[in-house]
Amino acid sequence: MAPTRFAWLSIAAAITTIALKLSAWVLTGSVGLLSDALESLVNLVAAIVALIALTVAARPADEDHAYGHSKAEYFSSATEGVLILVAALGIMVTAVERLIHPRPLERLGIGLAISVVATLVNLGVAVVLLRAGKRHHSITLEADAHHLMTDVFTTVGVLLGVGAVSVTQWHWLDPVVALAVGLWIVKTGVSLVARSLEGLLDTAIPREQRDKLVELLDSYRASGVRWHALGTRIAGARIFVTVHVLVPGDWSVQRGHDLCEEIESKIRHALGMATVLTHLEPVEDELSYRDIDLDRFTAPGSSSSRDP
């Protein structure tokens, strides 16, 4: 099942929950339930943006984008984070106004029942998206799933607040809970934006994955093979790996090439969707160790470390 199909599922879930939660708000007049409905509206916009991003990210590499379009997913998650922050601001403004001018809630029973149904819809879709995100290595689907799970938690909070109002008749509890929901949503939005910006900065793979690569490369030491300048970065669902492989100088080009092909294949198997580039060098040549730095940029007019 293509990742875009899960985005369509998220869109359908958002439309369903918006209709349910708005109905609950109309019936009860609860600003807490209104805040919950507004977050679901953000879910819909975010799901549409996710669909666009996943469609772009699936495009193959071309002359203008030699490394593909996978980073488009980060624009989706960043947009979602910003939308969450905007929704949180609207929720808190509405809550403050209701706190100043409280009013009694009505028809709480049916309103709460409708919200419970909407929460169950979000919970089911969130579980599906989270599994799909991990399976397809998609930050967009994972972000959407975590957002829906946050929606579930905030809805539970709102339901508890509205339920407390029905028992205590303390009407100020409803906007206070809405404020708490707004603050929670701010935390989620900031986290998504930060994660997206981190992805755009070519963040390295997690430490545990890098340790696997080091163990894999070190397994060739018994054959006189060495390595250095291991570089990794994540771009959406794709992982990029570069490494310099140093072999005995008396090896044939074919033998060195076969070794690099084997190493690249094992790295791809270990990491999944990885693009691997190896650079072959003779282990005895001291010049092989002058390019150990990951960044070997040479300014115009200066001499390279390999120049005589």
The three-state secondary structure class of 244 is strand
Contacts 24+ apart (CB under 8 A), 154-160: 154/35, 154/36, 154/39, 154/181, 154/184, 154/185, 155/36, 155/115, 155/118, 155/119, 155/122, 156/119, 157/181, 157/184, 158/30, 158/32, 158/33, 158/35, 158/36, 158/115, 159/112, 159/115, 159/116, 159/119
Which residue has better confidence, 148 or 102?
148
Residue 34: its pLDDT value, please? 72
For residues 217 and 176, state if they share a domain: no
For residues 88 and 172, state if they share a domain: yes
For residues 92 and 232, state if they share a domain: no
Domain boundary among 200, 233, 265: 200
For residues 193 and 222, state if they share a domain: no
Residue 306: its pLDDT value, please? 40
Other beta carbons within 10 angstroms of residue 41's beta carbon come to 18
| Residue 190, both tokens | 């900031």
Report the length, in residues, of the chain. 308
Express as a percent the part of the chain with pLDDT over 90. Answer: 15
Residue 308 lies in a domain: no
Give yes or no for residue 175 having a pLDDT over 70: yes
Looking only at the bridges linking them, the beta strands covering 226-235 and 274-282 are unpaired
Mean pLDDT along residues 144-159? 72
For residues 182 and 81, state if they share a domain: yes
Instruction: Name the residue type at position 139.
Output: I
Which residue has better confidence, 32 or 90?
90
For residues 78 and 215, state if they share a domain: no
Give yes or no for residue 155 having a pLDDT over 50: yes
Other beta carbons within 10 angstroms of residue 82's beta carbon come to 15
For residues 175 and 219, state if they share a domain: no
pLDDT tens-digit profile of 282-308? Answer: 988 877 777 665 555 444 443 444 433
Residue 297: its pLDDT value, please? 46
Tokens 């508890």 belong to which residue? 160
Instruction: Name the residue type at position 44.
Output: L
Residue 298: its pLDDT value, please? 46
Domain that holds residue 226: 207-289
For residues 19 and 117, state if they share a domain: yes
pLDDT tens-digit profile of 191-250? Answer: 778 877 777 777 788 888 899 999 999 999 988 899 998 988 887 667 889 999 999 999
Residue 308: its pLDDT value, please? 34
Residue 247: its pLDDT value, please? 94
Domain boundary among 133, 165, 200: 200
Residue 146 lies in a domain: yes
Mean pLDDT along residues 133-149? 74
Report whether 193 contacts 251 (CB < 8 A): no
Domain boundary among 200, 218, 243: 200
Q: Whole-angstrom Cα distance, residue 305 to residue 308?
A: 8
Give yes or no for residue 135 having a pLDDT over 90: no
Mean pLDDT computed over every residue of the chain? 77
In angstroms, the first-to-last Cα distance of the chain is 55
Residue 302 lies in a domain: no
| Residue 296, both tokens | 């070997």
Residue 301 lies in a domain: no
What angle separates helix 3-28 from helix 31-57, to the nearest 10 degrees? 170
Mean pLDDT along residues 95-105? 68
Q: What is the number of structural domains in the chain?
A: 2
Tokens 């819809």 belong to which residue? 121
